[in-house]
Amino acid sequence: MSQTPTTQRQYQLQRSGDAPAVLKLVEAPVRQPGNHEILVRVRAVSLNRRDVYVKLGHYPGPKPATLVPLSDGAGEVIATGSGVTRVRPGDRVAAIFFQQWLEGRPRPEYMASALGGGIDGMLSQYVTLNENGVVKLPASLSWEEAATLPCAGVTAWNALVTRGRTQPGDFVLLLGTGGVSITGLQLAHALGARPIVTSSSNEKLARARELGAFSAINYRDSPDWEQAVRAATGGAGVQQALEVGGKGTLPKTLACLGAGGHVALIGGLSSFGGEIPSGQLMGNNATASGIYVGSRADFEALLAFLEKHPIHPAIDQVFDFEKAAAAYDYLDSGALFGKVVIRL
Ligand SMILES: NC(=O)c1ccc[n+]([C@@H]2O[C@H](COP(=O)([O-])OP(=O)(O)OC[C@H]3O[C@@H](n4cnc5c(N)ncnc54)[C@H](OP(=O)(O)O)[C@@H]3O)[C@@H](O)[C@H]2O)c1
């Protein structure tokens, strides 16, 4: 085996009791790859809203005293353990969110395999993963672009395509201009659909139009924004909605849904929860899906689509590794449009 490093710099969330965790940069050992494992030199990672919840201790699941944060990262395979056949040194890869959900239906036990949640994540110079826990990247994606995809990209893909079966011409509702919504906008546009974006900022709405938004609505200026969404569809309503707002937005999102529409229940930016009116969905032949990221097969389907439709994920800011705390602050500031990346 070629020479591999034995120590590295790594971020850890260090937690004591119920208090928010503290982000610390530490020297840590590099674990050499064992049977069916690979060692990856991480080149870029991205943040999701979930990573803020994890740091605060507001995310469901275990809250270990020490956790390497972040689910999303891309890098180069630099060493492989015995028996590895899926990748080789030199391959460019991204990690999959649930290390054990490879394809098909999820199983409850897969949920504990989420990087940066149930197990150590990607904010580390090197990570040791099972060979099954990565996808190979197309040359068209930079490290930074690839690092935006494992959570937000796969979630948007699962919502729009795997579960939503979006068709050309469909109206697609996207709430706000964060990571899932802007990736969803870019994918919906590439699918030939008509994205309708809401935001609290006219400047962000202008940027959404540049990325292909068919209609752009300021939800702060128009508290009854569901009426503006309906009007933008000619009154018929949307065929797809990526519901990231949660309790505060769900009733309005459902009011936007047209006959035969699909709402993907994804997030809780206002707070998690909300009622599903069964009669309304039934009468409309509408579908509501709970979406929790997706499988490796979803990620591979997304990458195959991106090879044919060379979208460049909208990256707002790229931070240096030493400035990881500033990246968290930026994500939390409300200023972001699309994705926040850290380069290693
Ligand atoms: N189920 C899953 O698999 C999954 C996967 C990824 C994310 N999520 C969840 O989905 C949500 C979005 O995640 P994200 O990472 O995309 O978030 P993010 O990047 O942090 O998005 C933040 C943006 O959302 C908009 N926003 C905030 N509050 C809003 C509200 N009440 N109504 C409408 N828009 C609002 C704002 O856009 P403007 O500044 O334009 O107003 C804000 O800039 C989070 O709750 C996250 O936990 C779930």
Ligand 1 pocket residue status of 201, Cβ below 6 Å = yes
State the pLDDT at residue 313: 97
Q: In what order do the strands lie in the sheet with 66-67?
A: 22-29, 7-14, 66-67
State the pLDDT at residue 67: 97
Quick one: CA torsion of 127, 342, 177, 275, rounded to 10 degrees?
30
Q: Which residue has the higher pLDDT, 1 or 191?
A: 191
State the pLDDT at residue 6: 94
Ligand 1 pocket residue status of 167, Cβ below 6 Å = no
State the pLDDT at residue 310: 82
145: amino acid identity, one letter:
E
For the chain, the distance separating the N- and C-terminal CA atoms, rounded to the nearest angstrom, is 24
User: From the CA of 243, how far away is ligand 1's center (Å)?
Assistant: 9
Question: Which of 85, 73, 83 lies closest to 124, judged by CA?
Answer: 73
Ligand 1 pocket residue status of 60, Cβ below 6 Å = no
Give the C-alpha distances (Å, rounded to integers) separating 180 from 64, 161, 334: 27, 14, 14
Question: Which of 53, 244, 252 should be mutated for ligand 1, with most atoms under 8 A from CB?
Answer: 244
Ligand 1 pocket residue status of 267, Cβ below 6 Å = yes
Ligand 1 pocket residue status of 218, Cβ below 6 Å = no
> At a CB cut-off of 8 Å and minimum separation 6, what does 253 contact?
173, 175, 226, 241, 243, 245, 263
Work out which ligand 1 atom sits closest to the CA atom of 292: 3
Q: What is the mean pLDDT of residues 149-153?
A: 98
Question: Which of 106, 74, 109, 70 lies closest to 93, judged by CA?
Answer: 74
> At a CB cut-off of 8 Å and minimum separation 6, what does 16 contact?
65
> At a CB cut-off of 8 Å and minimum separation 6, what does 327 contact?
47, 317, 319, 340, 341, 342
Q: What tokens appear for 139 in the block?
A: 């040359």
Residue with tokens 């919502």: 159
Q: Alpha-carbon distance 84 to 336, whole Å?
A: 39
Q: What tokens appear for 256 in the block?
A: 């936007």
Q: Alpha-carbon distance 265 to 287, whole Å?
A: 10
- Average pLDDT of the chain? 96
State the pLDDT at residue 1: 45
Dump pLDDT digits (tens) for 33-81: 999 999 999 999 999 999 999 999 998 888 899 999 999 999 999 999 9
> At a CB cut-off of 8 Å and minimum separation 6, what does 234 contact?
none
State the pLDDT at residue 18: 85
Q: Residue 282 in 3-state DSSP?
A: helix
Residue with tokens 């990620």: 299
Q: Residue 184 in 3-state DSSP?
A: helix
**What is the reported pTM?**
0.97
Is there a contact between 233 and 171 (Cβ–Cβ < 8 Å)?
A: yes
Q: What percent of the chain has pLDDT over 90?
A: 95
Q: What tokens appear for 167 in the block?
A: 């068709």
Work out which ligand 1 atom sits closest to the CA atom of 220: 41
Give the C-alpha distances (Å, rounded to integers) separating 169 from 193, 253, 261, 274, 296: 4, 19, 13, 29, 28
Work out which ligand 1 atom sits closest to the CA atom of 272: 45
Element (H or E) spanning 199, and its range?
Answer: strand 194-199
Is there a contact between 71 and 151 (Cβ–Cβ < 8 Å)?
A: yes
What would you report as the CA-atom Rg of the chain, rounded to the nearest whole angstrom?
A: 20
Residue 148 has pLDDT above 60, yes or no: yes
Is there a contact between 235 and 259 (Cβ–Cβ < 8 Å)?
A: no
Ligand 1 pocket residue status of 6, Cβ below 6 Å = no
Ligand 1 pocket residue status of 177, Cβ below 6 Å = yes
Phi, psi of 241 (to 5 degrees): -140, 130
131: amino acid identity, one letter:
E
Residue 240 has pLDDT above 90, yes or no: yes
Is there a contact between 144 and 167 (Cβ–Cβ < 8 Å)?
A: no
Quick one: CA torsion of 80, 84, 87, 93, rounded to 10 degrees?
-60
Work out which ligand 1 atom sits closest to the CA atom of 249: 32
Ligand 1 pocket residue status of 253, Cβ below 6 Å = no
